[in-house]
A = this chain, B = another copy of it.
Amino acid sequence: MTASRHASLRKGQQTRAAIVNAALEQAARAGLEGLTIGALAEQMHMSKSGVFAHFGSREDLQIAVLKAYEQRFIDEVLKPSLRQVRGLPRLLAILNHWLERTVIEAALGCIWISGASEYDDRPGAVRDELVSMVQGWQREISRAIGQSIREGHLREDTDVNDLVFGIYGVILVLHHDSRLMRSAEALPRARRAIDRLLQQFARVPLPRPDALPQHHAA
């Protein structure tokens, strides 16, 4: 490959990433179904066909946005938590980052949660991608719960799926109460709810909520 062909490929990737970034912001406001190539082209000072050149279709763009969102989520929620030791400390770190991110998302608009309403009844590639991402994230939580059981931090008879279900419920109502109800109480309430949920399955005392690792935005 010649140097200029290489540079042009890299330029193409940068442009694509910039489009995805702008689309991510637009989708947070208007939903994935609210994404329009026209508005995006205008924001990027590009032609519509220029945007289309980077994505085969609007659906491909929506899926690229979901993937970028997932990557950011993993970077902010999962990765910093992996510095904690396996078991309850790591699980608590994940939950803590997730709660904090949900409140920030509640201000911006969480694509996974709004997407659940947009696509629950709309079959197709975007829905399939969204479902598989949620399943992937549920597997990550299940893994951290499983490690907590093996480390002796949670009871052996813990029903992992029931606990994942309970955690998801807290996240969804935190988002609902922060965003629709504009409740400032939602985050402390959600922390107490997670605490009570884990108490039911814990074999060791939970650390005080204020002793949990705090999330520092990069």
Enumerate chain A interface residues (CB-CB to B < 8 A): 29, 31, 109, 113-114, 116-121, 130-131, 134-135, 159, 161-162, 165-166, 168-170, 172-174, 176-177, 179-181, 185-186, 189-190, 192-193, 196, 200
The answer to whether A117 touches B114, judged by C-beta atoms less than 8 angstroms apart, is: yes
Question: Which of these, B159, B170, B179, B181, contacts A169 with CB under 8 Å?
Answer: B170
State the number of copies, please.
2
- Could you tell me the distance between the alpha carbons of A170 and B29 in the complex, rounded to whole angstroms? 26
**14 A–B pairs (Cβ distance < 8 Å), ordered by A:** A109-B120, A109-B121, A113-B117, A116-B117, A116-B179, A120-B179, A161-B185, A162-B193, A165-B190, A166-B193, A168-B177, A169-B173, A169-B174, A172-B173
Smallest CB-CB separation from A168: which chain B residue?
Answer: B173
List 19 other contacts, CB 8 Å, given A109-B121, A161-B189, A168-B176: A31-B117, A114-B117, A116-B117, A116-B176, A116-B180, A120-B180, A134-B180, A135-B181, A161-B185, A162-B189, A162-B192, A165-B177, A165-B186, A166-B170, A168-B173, A169-B169, A169-B173, A172-B173, A200-B200
